[in-house]
Structure 1
Amino acid sequence: MSWNQQELTSSNHTNTSPNYNYIDYVQKPIEMYVFIDPLCAECWSLEPYIKKLSVEYGRFFTIRQIVSGQLSNLNVDVFEKPKKLKDIWERTAKRTGMSCDGDIWDENPIDYPYVPSLAIKAAELQGKKAGKMFVRKLQENLFINKENISEEKILLKCATEANLDIEEFERDLFSSSAKKALQCDLKLTREMEVDYIPTIVFFNQSVEEEGIKISGLYPYDIYELVLKEILQKTPIPSATPPLIDFLKQYEVVGTKEISVVYDWSLDKAEKEMKKLQFQQIVDRIPAKYGSFWKYIDTKKS
């Protein structure tokens, strides 16, 4: 694997993996390093494209999530200006369709950005799948619910929603293991010269060629094109699952995510979800921009 990279950069372009089965234990040719910050609105807005890539081409790649961003002095000047962050969140939500309520920076600002990043590494000590689910719950509580995810009670809430072992998570939260893991992520961020969040770096593990780095937020077809280039072939995308199965898997999804994954307009996605709401299959989650939907698991009722 080469650390050299071709780079595709964008700061202004606008527009996770399936449940484990045998394919998750097979060596996949592509590794995707996804550099995120839990407080980054564009990282949140990347979610629809990650989901679609996973649905269509997940049999070819694994995702390695790297926590970076504010902690490595990226955009630190922005973070120190809550009003500026609020404006960025609001613009991003309007542009991408993934709601992020900037009012939190007036009402309930994040005091300790280091803590949620450390919490992600603590969650990952319970496995990659647990770590990814925990990040998603952090994002939902932050961007939709305006929760202060630097507070321990909110972190424990996220851990519960992600089905983590809570006692283990509490022990690991400020442990040396979590701190070392976070430092490793920050070191990797520097080594791979990542200077914008989100960034994805694609590597083909079976050939000795340089990776391709995409900095910023792009439309889906760009990620698909890069994946095909690094894979060195044009695979047939897998069929999308039935909508109910998709909702069961991810539990909470946005109208934007559904529209991207199923190639529907936002209006069509909204109408399909309203049908399911009428059938009491999903609950609607109020959001400042767009809509989010929670699958109702009747087995838990």
Structure 2
Amino acid sequence: MQSNNNSYRKLNPSQHVFELYLFVNPIGLKCLNSEHEVLHFIESLELNEGFKVHFRFLTFHNFNTVTQYMKRLNMPTNDLQLRNQIYETIYEASLAYKAALMQGKKRGRKFLMLLQKELNINMAEYSSDLLIEVAKGANLDVEMFLEDKASSFVKSSYDADQK
């Protein structure tokens, strides 16, 4: 009797592509750490296992994101003015990341991670000057970056990501 074991096929790395989406707070330290872990994991899969991985970091903002951020920094969560300011900062940082992505995925990721590092490790204050400094650090065309950030295309593209 011949055994026909077609129900099990060994996973062949060259035939499989994984898609990975990581939703992140563009100003959050936990998200920066998660991004580093994901990049390390992807590198390991591609180098050691031969798998191909397509991935995207998607920024998002909502009231839960703001609350978690405020709690992590021991901010009063009932301060509505502060809450609105943080909400707006997360939104603006998300648009900045989306604008940076217009100059390439790697540059966009570098921009995001540099921004998170500046805000969380170096304790820089979020500002237009900081965005320009980070854009330069990510080797972006700063003039184009600022134009893209203000464009309706970036805003509608970000809104599409939120859905």
Q: How high is the TM-score relative to the length of structure 2?
A: 0.73
* TM superposition shift of 1:125: 1.1
Q: Percent identity?
A: 31
* TM superposition shift of 1:28: 6.3
Instruction: Select the structure of larger CA radius of gyration.
Output: 2
- Partner amino acid, structure 2, of 1:67: T
What are the equivalent positions in structure 2 for 1:204-243 lying under 5 Å apart? none
* TM superposition shift of 1:78: 4.2
Native 8 Å contact 1:72 1:186 kept in 2: no
Q: Deviations over 1:21-51 (max 9, x none)?
A: xxxxx99611101111112222122134223
Q: 1:180 to 1:160 in 2, by over 3 A?
A: same
- Partner amino acid, structure 1, of 2:30: E
Q: 1:160 to 1:78 in 2, by over 3 A?
A: same
Q: 1:62 to 1:27 in 2, by over 3 A?
A: farther
* TM superposition shift of 1:76: 3.8
Q: 1:134 to 1:28 in 2, by over 3 A?
A: farther
Native 8 Å contact 1:28 1:62 kept in 2: no
Q: 1:142 to 1:30 in 2, by over 3 A?
A: same
What are the equivalent positions in structure 2 for 1:46-61 lying under 5 Å apart? 46-58=34-46, 59-61=51-53
Q: Which residue of 2 aligns with 1:86?
A: 73
- Structure 1 residue matching 2:125: 3-state secondary structure: coil
CA root-mean-square deviation:
2.5
Structure 2: how far apart are the matches of 1:27 and 1:75? 37
In the alignment, structure 1 segments of 5+ residues that lack a partner are: 1-25, 89-104, 188-301
Q: Which residue of 1 aligns with 2:89?
A: 112
Q: Which residue of 1 aligns with 2:23?
A: 35
Native 8 Å contact 1:38 1:135 kept in 2: yes
- Partner amino acid, structure 1, of 2:62: S
Q: 1:171 to 1:28 in 2, by over 3 A?
A: farther
* TM superposition shift of 1:156: 0.6
Native 8 Å contact 2:25 2:65 kept in 1: no
Q: Which residue of 1 aligns with 2:150?
A: 174
Match of 2:117 among 140, 143, 147: 140
Matched, 1:160 2:120: no
Matched, 1:72 2:48: no
Native 8 Å contact 1:172 1:178 kept in 2: yes
* TM superposition shift of 1:136: 1.1
Q: How many residues align?
A: 137
Q: Which residue of 1 aligns with 2:4?
A: none
- Structure 2 residue matching 1:46: 3-state secondary structure: helix
Q: 1:75 to 1:56 in 2, by over 3 A?
A: closer
Q: 1:27 to 1:62 in 2, by over 3 A?
A: farther
Native 8 Å contact 2:26 2:93 kept in 1: yes
Native 8 Å contact 1:29 1:60 kept in 2: yes
Structure 2: how far apart are the matches of 1:126 and 1:29? 24
In the alignment, structure 2 segments of 5+ residues that lack a partner are: 1-13, 76-81
Q: Deviations over 1:43-98 (max 9, x none)?
A: 12213422321321134201112111xx233344445xx4x23149xxxxxxxxxx
Q: How high is the TM-score relative to the length of structure 1?
A: 0.41
